[in-house]
């Protein structure tokens, strides 16, 4: 059972970072508080303990911060999805569109087995392009994405709409 901590109070908004008009959600105060960080991991653990998760898939880089301790708590594998050229073994990659240009994500071809029950986690859901690409990679490997999970969701950017009927869970919504 997770303790009650006001997680949102540990997230600060930095105006005009990294460019004018952006209201950046800074999670470093949350990470600096063992109580708040633990509360986040415990809330995710409470949600996923009985879900039969085989692997927690974290998206580079802040998805690693939450995914690795959650995988340990669940007794599941941790699988990183990374930017191009960061994984040393045979990879599968997918390109995806950003507002201006494209990006690419990669996963090891042997990272998950077909039929594996996976949870995909990242720190923030914004427009949904990155998480949709990650789910595409996992589907290509034959994994079953049980849910996508986030510390923060920027609802006004409608990232959920990029995920179709996939289940989305967020601890804090703006």
Residues designated as active site: 62, 99
Q: Is the peptide bond before 133 cis (omega within 30 degrees of 0)?
A: no
What one-character DSSP code corresponds to residue 143?
A: -
What one-character DSSP code corresponds to residue 68?
A: H
- For residues 135 and 148, the answer to whether their CB atoms sit within 8 Å is yes
b/e string for 110-131 if b means 16 or more Cβ within 10 A?
Answer: ebbeeebbbbbbbbbbbbbbbb
b/e string for 80-99 if b means 16 or more Cβ within 10 A?
Answer: bbbeeeebeeebbbbebeee
């Amino acid at each position: 059972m997770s303790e009650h901590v006001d997680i949102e109070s540990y997230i600060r908004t930095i105006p005009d970072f990294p460019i004018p008009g952006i209201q950046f959600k800074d999670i470093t105060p949350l990470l600096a508080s063992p109580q708040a960080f633990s509360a986040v991991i415990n809330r995710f653990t409470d949600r996923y303990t009985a879900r039969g998760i085989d692997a927690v898939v974290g998206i580079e880089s802040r998805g690693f911060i939450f995914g690795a301790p959650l995988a340990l708590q669940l007794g599941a594998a941790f699988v990183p999805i990374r930017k191009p050229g960061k994984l040393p073994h045979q990879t599968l990659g997918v390109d995806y569109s950003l507002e201006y240009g494209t990006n690419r994500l990669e996963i090891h071809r042997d990272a998950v087995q077909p039929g594996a029950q996976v949870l995909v986690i990242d720190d923030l859901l914004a427009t949904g392009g990155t998480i949709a690409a990650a789910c595409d990679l996992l589907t290509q490997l034959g994994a079953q994405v049980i849910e996508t999970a986030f510390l923060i969701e920027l609802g006004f950017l409608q990232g959920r709409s990029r995920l179709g009927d996939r289940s989305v869970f967020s601890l804090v919504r703006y």
